[in-house]
Amino acid sequence: MLLRHTPKEIVERKSLTVNPAKTCQPIGAMYASLGIHGCLPHSHGSQGCYAYHRSTLTRHYKEPVMAATSSFTEGASVFGGQANLLQAMDNIFTIYNPDVIAVHTTCLSETIGDDVPQIFGKAKTDGKIPEGKYVFHASTPSYVGTHVTGFANMTKAMVDYFAKQNGHKENRINIIPGWVEPSDMKEIKRITGELGIDFIMFPDTDNVLNSPQTGKFEMYPKGGVTIDELISTGSSSGTVALGGLASGPAAKALDSKCKVPCKILDLPIGIKATDRFVDTLRKMAGVNVPESINIERGQLVDIVTDMQAYFYHKKVALVGDPDQLVALTEFLVSIDMMPIHILTGTKDKKFEKKILSLTEEMPHDVNVKSGGDMYLFHQWVKNEPVDLLIGNSYVKYIARDEDIPFIRYGFPILDRIGHSYFPMVCYRGAMRFLEKILDALMNRIDRDSSEIEFDLVM
């Protein structure tokens, strides 16, 4: 009973967060930066911030996350971080030789008010940026927003710094996948490839944070979008952005900077959202959907049909990031489950409205909150228990205390593996989601069955 002090009674809180359902902006910025080939993320702040960002990503992906820091001490806190960043760029290009350094700011450098573009200008004048190498930055103060905002800001910075028009439109689509796992990015690329579409995905952490063990350390793994490809995004014929909060700002920036029209969709989690994704690609690229994709979809529908008795009206509580939760809620409602507690730690003005509209036909009231915390989420679960919990590793404490089946999904997952290698998006990912849901629910049925009820065939 590690959370035994959580009371059932819910009291209005305005200035106190207990067990946040979010992490800080630079973690998202660092993750997005790792989706560029040959990029070294750089944290412009103190070593403590940088250690936290790196270790959270390393623990989630079980891969060494390479990054650098401006290593602020008292001097930089008083006089600003220009000298530290100039020295850092010199050291990084000399010692680690990346193609590009992606600088994100922290609470401290933002509070000091460091002007990073001006520091880049000075570095250029002083000859600290070698020919053919790049630096770019995103502003990621963590006293506003969350890891999702940081991811969105860094992805938008890729457009702001690099995208260029080349005078004509290429028959090619940009895909901004949102904050999903490397395995999800691989699956989105596979589906797009099956449709026969030429595309650029950015950021792309496939083959970076799920790379194979070869016995040899690679500072810059094979994957990631290249800078040349980022430049070319400005001459693509269209952009498909997945997840409005994580990918929308970059897609809109590309539209206004280079006149590349965009479609902003939900993450392709579940049948309906994947249908919309495939249909948008089909229309945008003018291609036909091949039989291979129809077969995958049919298999997914077959699983839902076969197992619908186990899904029917099961109550679920979800906590995570807004883009994921919106798509997941739609998926669960579509298979007759009842997501009744839905909470995100990220503030998103549209979140609550979207969830309420997705669940309006459900025969049950819904608790929904953006900018909430795990404490409130636990209180909801205590007041109305559910059949299944879905969320990141921190939910394991609630699952244990309340004895509720639990699926790990979202960020961070610190105590299991699989998320980097097996997708949860598109039709095949949805099949895996259903497998996980059924495993959790049916294991509980088996555990709670009497000897007479304990069935071999379910």
Q: Which of 49, 92, 227, 386 binds ligand SF4 (CB under 6 A)?
A: 49
With 0-12 / 13-18 / 19 or more C-beta atoms within 10 angstroms meaning exposed / middle / buried, residue 19 is: middle
Q: Which is nearer to ligand SF4, 206 or 373 (CB)?
A: 373
Residue 52 CB, nearest distance to ligand SF4 (Å)? 5
Min CB(64)–ligand SF4 separation in Å: 20
User: Per CB under 6 A, which of residues 387..446 are in contact with ligand SF4?
Assistant: none
Residue pair 175/198 in contact (Cβ under 8 Å)? The answer is: no
Choices 44-52, 89-97, 111-119, 355-363 (CB under 6 A): range interacting with ligand SF4: 44-52
Q: Does 26 bind ligand SF4 (CB under 6 A)?
A: yes
45's enclosing H/E stretch is none
Q: Select 26 or 320, whichever has its Cβ closest to ligand SF4.
A: 26
Q: What 3-state class would DSSP assign to 224? A: coil
Is 101 near ligand SF4 (CB under 6 A)? Answer: no
We find the least distance from the C-beta atom of residue 452 to ligand SF4, in angstroms, to be 55
Q: Is 212 helix (H, G, I), strand (E, B) or coil?
A: coil
Q: Is the dihedral of CA 404, 410, 416, 420 positive or negative?
A: positive
Q: Are 140 and 154 in contact (CB under 8 A)?
A: yes
C-alpha separations of 312 from 142, 332, 391 in Å: 41, 10, 21
- Write the burial class of residue 226 (CB in 10 Å: 0-12 exposed, 13-18 middle, 19+ buried): middle
> 244-258 and 147-162 are packed helices; what angle lies between their axes, rounded to 10 degrees?
20
Q: Which residues pair with 369 in a beta bridge?
A: 343
Considering only 82, 139, 142, 239, the residue that binds ligand SF4 (CB under 6 A) is: 142
Least distance to ligand SF4 from the beta carbon of 50, Å?
A: 8
Instruction: Give the Cα separation of 331 and 351 in Å (integer).
Output: 16
We find the least distance from the C-beta atom of residue 120 to ligand SF4, in angstroms, to be 20
Should residue 81 be labelled a site residue for ligand SF4 when binding is judged by CB under 6 A?
no
Q: How far is the CB of 39 from ligand SF4 (least distance, A)?
A: 19
Q: Which is nearer to ligand SF4, 109 or 235 (CB)?
A: 109
Spatial CB neighbours of 450, under 8 Å, sequence gap ≥ 6: none
Of 150 and 429, nearer to ligand SF4 (C-beta) is 150
Residues 237-296 that bind ligand SF4 (CB under 6 A): none
In 202-298 the beta strands, taken as DSSP E runs, fall at 236-242, 262-265
Q: Which x/- pattern, by CB under 6 A, does the window 51-80 give for ligand SF4?
A: -x----------------------------
- Using CB under 6 A, which of 70, 106, 370, 392 touches ligand SF4? 106
Is 166 exposed, middle or buried (CB count within 10 Å of its CB: 0-12, 13-18, 19+)? Answer: exposed
Structure tokens at 95: 């010692």
Q: Which of 29, 66, 100, 107 binds ligand SF4 (CB under 6 A)?
A: 107
* Nearest approach, Cβ of residue 108 and ligand SF4 (Å): 6
DSSP assignment of 291-334 equals HHHHHHHHHHHHHHHHHHHHHTT-EEEEEE-HHHHHHHHHHHHH
Least Cα distance to 46 among 107, 87, 134 occurs for 107
* Cβ distance to ligand SF4 smaller for residue 100 or 107: 107
Q: Which of 6, 21, 24, 136 binds ligand SF4 (CB under 6 A)?
A: 24
Stretch that binds ligand SF4, among 45-53, 115-123, 244-252, 304-312 (CB under 6 A): 45-53
Q: From the CB of 220, what's the least distance to ligand SF4, in Å?
A: 25
Output 6 or 109, the one with its CB closest to ligand SF4: 109
Binding residues with ligand SF4: total (CB under 6 A) = 8
Residue 114 phi, psi (nearest 5): -60, 135
Residues contributing to the site for ligand SF4 (CB under 6 A): 24, 26, 45, 49, 52, 106-107, 142
